[in-house]
Amino acid sequence: MRLLFLGDMVGKTGRTAVWDRLPGLISDLRLDFVIVNGENAAGGFGITEDIFLETINAGADVVTTGNHVWDQKEAVVFAGRHDQFLRPANYPQGTPGRGSGLFYARNGARVLVANVMGRVFMHPELDDPFKSAEVILDACPLKEQADAIIFDFHAEATSEKQCFGHFVDGRASFVVGTHTHVPTADAQILNGGTAYMSDAGMCGDYDSSLGMDKEEPLNRFISKMPKGRMEAASGPATICGVGVEISDATGLAEKIAPLRLGPRLAETVPEFWR
């Protein structure tokens, strides 16, 4: 199975770049399943229902989120209406929406996708992500109820992300980090066969501060005083993500490599998809 994960869409430039390029990527790379993190898609803060639906219409099979999931108040309402919209699974019981789901890939495979949020340097501090993952894996084990299992681990600390990867190694197909908006260079297959990357990066303008117009965050670092609102940068976007090939026989990863398309970072498409 060929799976593509795209990192956090940031603002209009990030989401429109994904909408424009994703249909062609699905066709050209013969993708079976696509996951997109959309928690910063609405001006850099949260996601609206229209943006979610447009991302699904562009070809995404699932849209994950993170700590900004409720920044747009309408998300509290529409979260429960769409199975393909995931918020972190370790929110307390009774939180709107769902944190995981079982979906069907284009090749017929059953794909469990779970969105979990870390706790180190994160706000709000949610329930234990490791315990939440254990519950999810116990309910839908790899190669029993699911042919592939993917975790979007939305977290700040790479140590927490790496430990989570080792925790589910051999029990999940792929663990990918989101939240920091900077792609890491550690795409690898762990000892037990789980593909791992600490952060997929963002889909947004990299002439920025994490996808936001750089002037206001720079001012705040220097003066310690806000001058205005944070605004999403509006320059040309670079799409960042990661591609994984998953064995139909074992549900574990066989290949992993980053994907980057755009003007600021060196472009790369996984060699095994060329």
Catalytically annotated residues: 68
Sign of the torsion angle spanned by Cα atoms 136, 76, 79, 121: negative
Count of residues for the chain?
A: 274
Q: How far apart are CA 261 and CA 270, in angstroms?
A: 11
Contact 120, 157 (CB under 8 A): yes
Q: If DSSP codes are grouped into helix, strand and coil, which group holds residue 210?
A: coil
Helix axes 129-139, 158-168, angle to 10 degrees: 30
Alpha carbon distance 159, 189 (integer Å): 17
Q: Do the bridges between strand 195-197 and strand 174-178 make them parallel or antiparallel, or are there none, so unpaired?
A: parallel
**DSSP, residue by residue, 97-137:** SBSEEEEE-TTS-EEEEEEEE--TT-SS--S-HHHHHHHHH
Cβ contact 110:98 at 8 Å: no
Most distant CA pair in the chain: distance in Å?
57
Q: Is 265 helix (H, G, I), strand (E, B) or coil?
A: coil
